[in-house]
């Protein structure tokens, strides 16, 4: 069935003028279907941390758009990523969230795959003449790491993770954060009745901070909060601390679904990632990384402020979703002196949905 979605040639001009994407793009299932195909099925996306797959046999599962994924460490210690879809009848092979296995055995009919994705055994295969198990490996996906972070690209088109992150690693040096010293501490999960783009856009500006995040605004000088949108696939944000202007908070949004928050006191990183469920619902995870030796009191204070800001953002994002889904307005109007990051992100959305 043909899609009802079409790119309006005038949207690009509207974005340049400071208008937002059409309001219906945040509630229309046809738009969301296009995003799955053109964005979530094609782009590098954060999936988790290397501590989950430290040893041979370690694995974890997730989803990118509507694609179930399994990431595993094989017996040669090579990191692998596959569609978590059995080549027999399409069942998910692994149902557990994480664990350690010698093989990946499908829970439905017992088709068993080696950790390198090759089919090891299918019950009663000897009864089928010409059964060619060498043609029935799990579908492989590209997988790369950046420090403790794992990224997967759910197709095999050309393009490395480095092509996307570009000079972004330099942000860590400028922020005084040593990525190699960071260790995963915990993950929090938030369910939101909001389109995934609203969550990214909320992260991409601090225009709302003085009104919506009073505790945060007592820590960060939001008047001097600046954005750099000069890079192709990411934007960065910098805000000095009010009580120690020589220190700052540093943030980045990495296309399409990852957001990074850096801190020097304590040395920490949050990786926020959105997992779209449908046009109006999103699961967001926040992975907290701290430098080894960080005190529990520092962690507690950092985590409490972060969680407060996040809970405030849930209210904001769900409110925007209800407003846009109402159909009352056709689009919004950005305050470009403060919301260039949103414009940068929306240009990428428009570009990718327009690609064949």
In a domain, 254, yes or no: yes
Domain count, the chain: 2
Mean pLDDT, residues 119-130: 96
SS3 of the chain: helix, strand, coil, percent, to 5 = 30, 30, 40
User: Is the per-residue pLDDT at 211 higher than 50?
Assistant: yes
User: Is the per-residue pLDDT at 196 higher than 80?
Assistant: yes
Instruction: Let me know whether 57 and 84 are in one domain.
Output: yes
13, 164, 221 from 339: Cα distances, Å? 17, 22, 16
CATH of the domain at 18: 3.90.380.10
Give the pLDDT score at 62.
97
Peptide bond into 266 cis (omega under 30): yes
Mean pLDDT, residues 108-135: 97
pLDDT range class, residue 157, cuts 50, 70, 90: confident
pLDDT range class, residue 8, cuts 50, 70, 90: confident
User: Is the per-residue pLDDT at 105 higher than 70?
Assistant: yes
Q: What is the pLDDT of residues 250-265, one digit of tens each?
A: 999 999 999 999 999 8
Mean pLDDT, residues 291-305: 96
Instruction: Let me know whether 190 and 144 are in one domain.
Output: no
Instruction: Let me know whether 215 and 110 are in one domain.
Output: no
Instruction: Let me know whether 125 and 250 are in one domain.
Output: no
Give the pLDDT score at 245.
87
CATH of the domain at 140: 2.102.10.10
User: Is the per-residue pLDDT at 3 higher than 80?
Assistant: no
In a domain, 5, yes or no: no
In a domain, 215, yes or no: yes
In a domain, 162, yes or no: no
Cα–Cα dist 349/353, whole Å: 6
User: Is the per-residue pLDDT at 93 higher than 50?
Assistant: yes
Give the pLDDT score at 155.
87
Q: What is the pLDDT of residues 215-249, one digit of tens each?
A: 999 999 999 999 999 999 999 999 999 998 888 99
User: Is the per-residue pLDDT at 355 higher than 50?
Assistant: yes
Give the pLDDT score at 45.
98
Q: What residues make up the domain containing 186?
A: 11-41+167-353
User: Is the per-residue pLDDT at 1 higher than 60?
Assistant: no
Instruction: Let me know whether 144 and 174 are in one domain.
Output: no
Mean pLDDT, residues 287-307: 96
User: Is the per-residue pLDDT at 125 higher than 80?
Assistant: yes
Q: What is the pLDDT of residues 43-85, one digit of tens each?
A: 999 999 999 999 999 999 999 999 999 999 999 999 999 999 9
Question: Which of these three, 112, 127, 156, is where a domain ends?
Answer: 156
User: Is the per-residue pLDDT at 159 higher than 60?
Assistant: yes
Instruction: Let me know whether 174 and 263 are in one domain.
Output: yes
Give the pLDDT score at 231.
97
Give the pLDDT score at 247.
87
pLDDT range class, residue 35, cuts 50, 70, 90: very high
Instruction: Let me know whether 22 and 152 are in one domain.
Output: no
Cβ-contact 90, 97 below 8 angstroms = no
Give the pLDDT score at 7.
72
Instruction: Let me know whether 321 and 192 are in one domain.
Output: yes
Cα–Cα dist 307/220, whole Å: 16
Cα diameter, the chain: 75
Cβ-contact 183, 190 below 8 angstroms = no
pLDDT range class, residue 5, cuts 50, 70, 90: low
User: Is the per-residue pLDDT at 100 higher than 90?
Assistant: yes
- How confident is the prediction for the chain on average, in pLDDT? 95
Give the pLDDT score at 126.
94
Tell me the torsion sign for CA atoms 295, 298, 302, 304: positive
User: Is the per-residue pLDDT at 19 higher than 70?
Assistant: yes
User: Is the per-residue pLDDT at 4 higher than 80?
Assistant: no
- pLDDT over 90, % of the chain: 94
Instruction: Let me know whether 288 and 223 are in one domain.
Output: yes
Q: Measured at the alpha carbon of residue 310, what is the angle toward residues 232 and 237, in degrees to the nearest 5? A: 30
Give the pLDDT score at 2.
41
């Amino acid at each position: 069935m043909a899609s009802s979605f079409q790119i309006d040639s005038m949207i690009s001009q509207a974005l340049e003028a400071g208008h937002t994407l059409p309001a219906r793009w945040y509630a229309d299932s046809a738009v969301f279907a296009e995003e799955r195909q053109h964005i979530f099925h094609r782009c590098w996306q954060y999936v988790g941390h290397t501590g989950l797959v430290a040893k041979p046999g370690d694995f974890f599962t997730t989803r990118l758009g509507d694609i179930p994924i399994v990431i595993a460490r094989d017996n040669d210690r090579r990191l692998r990523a596959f569609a978590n879809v059995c080549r027999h009848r399409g069942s998910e092979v692994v149902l557990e969230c994480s664990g350690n296995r010698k093989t990946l055995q499908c829970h439905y009919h017992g088709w068993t795959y080696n950790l390198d994705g090759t089919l090891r055994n299918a019950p009663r295969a000897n009864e089928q003449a010409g059964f060619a198990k060498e043609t029935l490996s799990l579908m492989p996906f590209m997988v790369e790491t950046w420090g403790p972070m794992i990224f997967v690209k759910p197709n095999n088109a050309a393009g490395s993770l480095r092509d996307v992150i570009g000079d972004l690693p330099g942000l860590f040096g400028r922020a005084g954060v040593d990525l190699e010293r960071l260790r995963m501490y915990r993950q929090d999960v938030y369910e939101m009745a909001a389109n995934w783009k609203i969550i990214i856009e909320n992260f991409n500006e601090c225009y709302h901070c003085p009104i919506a995040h009073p505790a945060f605004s007592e820590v960060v000088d939001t008047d001097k909060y600046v954005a750099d949108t000069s890079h192709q696939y990411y934007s960065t944000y910098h805000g000095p601390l009010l009580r120690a202007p020589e220190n700052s908070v540093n943030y980045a949004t990495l296309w399409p679904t990852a957001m990074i928050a850096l801190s020097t006191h304590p040395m920490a990183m949050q990786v926020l990632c959105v997992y779209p469920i449908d046009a109006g619902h999103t699961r967001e995870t926040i992975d907290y990384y701290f430098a080894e030796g960080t005190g529990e009191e520092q962690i507690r204070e950092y985590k409490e402020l972060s969680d407060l800001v996040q809970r405030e953002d849930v209210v904001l994002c769900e409110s925007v979703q209800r407003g846009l889904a109402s159909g009352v307005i056709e689009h919004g109007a950005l305050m470009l002196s403060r919301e260039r990051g949103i414009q940068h992100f929306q240009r990428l959305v428009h570009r990718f949905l327009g690609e064949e």
